[in-house]
Structure 1
């Protein structure tokens, strides 16, 4: 195993400190916790947004803390859910008196620990709501979850719900908006290589030189099908048609897309996929209004990509294009 680390036990703690060093204008570390919070939060009246999960998915989740997105992000150890006390620390850091929305990816440990944290917040008089993200269409159930997993589409929830909160929507309204994003969201990924969890010291699974894995999860979970390597056009079409069918998208509908690297796939390959995506949407008479391309939710150094489609209406489009300023995502209004 070759990784630029000092010790497995200190990876997350050191990484969080390094994020603050790199982005002090956005982030502060909540002392004694694994929580990153906005360095310049609004004083009062804004609904807080908290997300988080196991580390190893960078820039998720700390990279989305900032204006127009998250107020706090809670880190667990690599591919391990954050504990309830850490989540509660994130809730307190995000609370500005208008309640806090928790954005939770559908993994058993995350769901359980965020629910316990909500009970702690309720005892302290902090109102909370939760949105459960389950955009991965590849599997109905997995080793980590009951129901569909939450993967890269979570970033669309951060962006749209975060914009609504920044504009002054109340807690119940922000939750409704976030839930409608999830209802109109679908993602699926593929892997060309496995990743190596530092604590394990070896790849999670093995692929042959001419093999790829379809439907992988963001924790290195094997996918649903092992297939021969495809061209970029074949791969993009395979993912795209599965997502279009899942969302029952029809002629003339408006969509946004995310072409996401799993960690080791470079931008040049994502750009090729993005070009094929545009051609596919023209052929199927969909209106592709926005494409996010890059590293948004990774799986350590896994080579591969995921594709996310989001059905848009006017509200979701407006909020998606609203200004935001975070380490990992910026939208500038001209």
Structure 2
């Protein structure tokens, strides 16, 4: 089978064009920039004190730089700038969507970074997340409710805000252990990328997800246990926001509550984890947004005796299964699903092997 036929069998939109090459280059550049930029960010962060100090709630035993989100953001932006130069004619139709999501993500990176270093009130973080969700709505990226009622527009905006804010916080709450949030974000980004690549109308999502997936993989090279750096709120907010936004780009219409199941399956693990944490904290009379605790799924696995590496790998597997199921529910054929699964396992396996080899060498 020739290359065109292979791409066609995977359902790639316009396999005869060079768009898929732009996606590959975007992924590789985001990976390379993030991977190479993190050591410099880590060194600078340690000098100026941008680090999480050990305490009873955290798992680190020494100061751990928390500015990894800046390298992730730089990798994504650099990759998308290159993509703009590679495909200026095609991108002009989706540039507004890309820039809107990047603008919202940039705001959250800034707010998350300030919170990492100085601390911000929970209500201010929540307000910022709501404003960035409204930014998407203003640009036409939203979940469209079509129940045939006069309040459909209001419900559309409300569900979109809840979705974006919820996913943004869900990824952030999963970022409590080496390699966990980065691995979940990588798996989800690659799975959503496999779906969006089937549709030319989702070119904005495809490019963003390629850049996000590459940045996540480059970050994991330094973040798998034992971690050299963590992403902090800046990186977790950015991952969550971009994943939430790209998952609803396109023609996502809700005529029943079950219409939200397919996109929710891609992010099922973070959603379930966040839901159980919120419910438990509310039942205990605590504020879910400002009360830290060791009540997440990864904390429970660690309490059962699993190591950080085994806990991360276990939750990666659960995330991969959920994403492959989501792809099946969305009508992807077996070739697309199997290729996606193989690619994810291969890239994660190579990255983990690189990290463990560096640890053995004392790097």
Q: Which has the higher helix share?
A: 2
User: Of the two structures, which has the highest relative contact order with CA contacts closer than 8 Å and spacing of 6 or more?
Assistant: 2
Task: Give the alignment's TM-score, normalised by structure 2.
Answer: 0.29
Task: Give the alignment's TM-score, normalised by structure 1.
Answer: 0.31
Q: Which has the higher strand share?
A: 1
